[in-house]
Copies of this chain bind each other. A is one copy, B any other.
Amino acid sequence: MAKEKYVESITSRDVDFAQWYTDVVRKAEMADYSSVRGCMILRPLGCAIWENIQKGLDQRFKALGHENVCMPMFIPESLLDKEAEHVEGFAPEVAWVTMGGTEQLQERLAVRPTSEALFSDHYAKIVQSYRDLPKLYNQWVSVVRWEKTTRPFLRTTEFWWQEGHTVHETAEEARQETLRMLDTYAEFCRTELAIPVVKGRKTDKEKFAGAEATYTIEAMMHDGKSLQAATSHYFGDGFARAFGIQFSNRENKLQYVYQTSWGASTRLIGALIMVHSDDNGLLLPPHIAPTQVMVVPVAQHKPGVLEACQEIVDKLAVVCRIKMDASDKMPGWKFSEHEMHGIPLRLELGPKDLANGQAIAVRRDTGEKQPVSLDDLVGTIPELLEQIQKDLYDRAWQLMQERTYTATDWDSFSSIIQEKPGFVKAMWCGDQACEDKIKESFAATARCMPFEQEHLADTCVCCGKPAKSMVIWGKAY
């Protein structure tokens, strides 16, 4: 009874995916709306997931030699103006500070929408010689983009992210950095978030304002839509010329640096929800779950039950993130509450289990129950968590395969993209007119030109002219 009551307020995923998403965010207490238009509050669970994402990425960045810094949250308008394409791309969505205390500012300050301008300004000051290169900086901050319509985690006026900004001696090294960081994101999504991604390059239409090339990892959500999970940009020496980042090279000549930037944000939490979760609420892969195992005592007033549960917690605390729920709620209520919050594994233990020297392990992803011996928990539980992690990835990978289609002519492309949610692989001539036509016709975009190219046909699926590359098309968040 309790369970049904608790869960009934969630819309079914198959009935209304958008409403289901919002329900999970609210009901699992991950985020809340604030009194500031378009800005969300990361509640403890959402924040703890973000902290785990930070930890996982940060240690990968540091292992590759990156250092963290903190730049100001403001950018003077004149500084933002220095790189023409960049300012054109971002100016329409900037929040402007015009007053400090009671005084009108002489120059407006942008609340950073991204920090290329600040990093470039700083690099121009601190880089003198090739000996100072490379500089591999990153920062963990929130940024602001004035959005018209917002959705928690997916598109909010303020969001949290990391932005890496690096400068290099050679174009080759900067290009390698761009791809190395894309690989880092892809590996992180696969290993920690159990989310398979497609690596590829953005078309010129979709690339970052000011970049020579933008690379992306695209993930498929449960409804078949695409989500850009992280991006990595190669800037060439564009920003370096605009900001004057020069150094004496090995021949003792002045030269511009080559630059990159790359970022991943709280959007990843949106992806976690839309890839793995279900009608029972949030479902978190064990590697990223703040609590991996919840112990729920059954008939906890019976002698020995609570003590045995506490013993389980003490034993397992060294090998996983575990908690016990000894509150006075009914077990059924607890079950559905912890399912809603996405905890990957539940351990139930009542008097009968205790007598049998076992607990009942219940998987959040399959609902499958199995007895586990109390003597061997330190061995079985981490194994079970790894199994869940692997199964979640496999399930997501399977779905992505099933929903990746191929189209070689306009008719098949047109019917697939309208009727079958997912990725559509098709050849493209490289002309933006075709991208525009597809966008107008189907509200679909070129998600990326995958690194793993296939030769599906000789001609562009749209205009019939000779094809240059294979593109993955889709509708996107």
Q: Is the CB of A68 within 8 A of B97?
A: no
Which of the candidate stretches A46-54, A249-257, A378-386 sits at the interface with the other chain? Answer: A46-54
A108: chain B residues at CB < 8 Å are: 99
A125: chain B residues at CB < 8 Å are: 32
- A70, B125: Cα distance in complex, Å: 33
Q: How far is the CB of A69 from chain B (nearest CB, A)?
A: 5
Q: Is the CB of A73 within 8 A of B142?
A: yes
Residue of B nearest to A92 (CB): B101
- A109, B102: Cα distance in complex, Å: 14
A415 within 8 A of B: no
A405 within 8 A of B: no
A433 within 8 A of B: no
A34: chain B residues at CB < 8 Å are: 71-72, 118, 121-122
Mask, A67-107, CB within 8 Å of B = 1, is 11111111110010000000000011111111111100000
Q: Is the CB of B74 within 8 A of A36?
A: yes
Q: How far is the CB of A290 from chain B (nearest CB, A)?
A: 10
- A292, B373: Cα distance in complex, Å: 45
A121: chain B residues at CB < 8 Å are: 34-35
Which of the candidate stretches A12-20, A37-45, A357-365, A423-431 sits at the interface with the other chain? Answer: A37-45
A330 within 8 A of B: no
Q: How far is the CB of A331 from chain B (nearest CB, A)?
A: 18
A100: chain B residues at CB < 8 Å are: 94-96, 146
Which residue, of A35, A100, A144, has the highest number of chain B Cβ atoms within 10 A?
A: A100
A111 within 8 A of B: yes
Q: How many copies altogether?
A: 2
A42: chain B residues at CB < 8 Å are: 69-70
Q: Is the CB of A43 within 8 A of B69?
A: yes
A95: chain B residues at CB < 8 Å are: 74, 97, 99-101, 109
Interface residues of A in 125-181 (CB under 8 A from B): 125-126, 137, 141-142, 144, 146, 158, 160
Could you list some 30 contacts between A and B, CB below 8 A?
A32-B122, A34-B72, A34-B122, A35-B76, A35-B118, A36-B76, A36-B109, A39-B74, A41-B69, A41-B71, A41-B72, A41-B118, A41-B122, A42-B69, A42-B70, A44-B137, A47-B68, A47-B69, A47-B70, A51-B68, A70-B160, A94-B100, A94-B101, A95-B97, A95-B99, A96-B97, A96-B98, A97-B98, A98-B99, A141-B142
Which residue numbers of A lie inside 8 Å of B, CB to CB?
32, 34-36, 39-44, 47-48, 50-51, 67-76, 79, 91-102, 108-109, 111, 118, 121-122, 125-126, 137, 141-142, 144, 146, 158, 160
List 10 other contacts, CB 8 Å, given A39-B74, A93-B101, A101-B146.
Answer: A34-B121, A35-B76, A39-B73, A40-B72, A41-B122, A44-B67, A44-B69, A47-B69, A74-B158, A98-B99
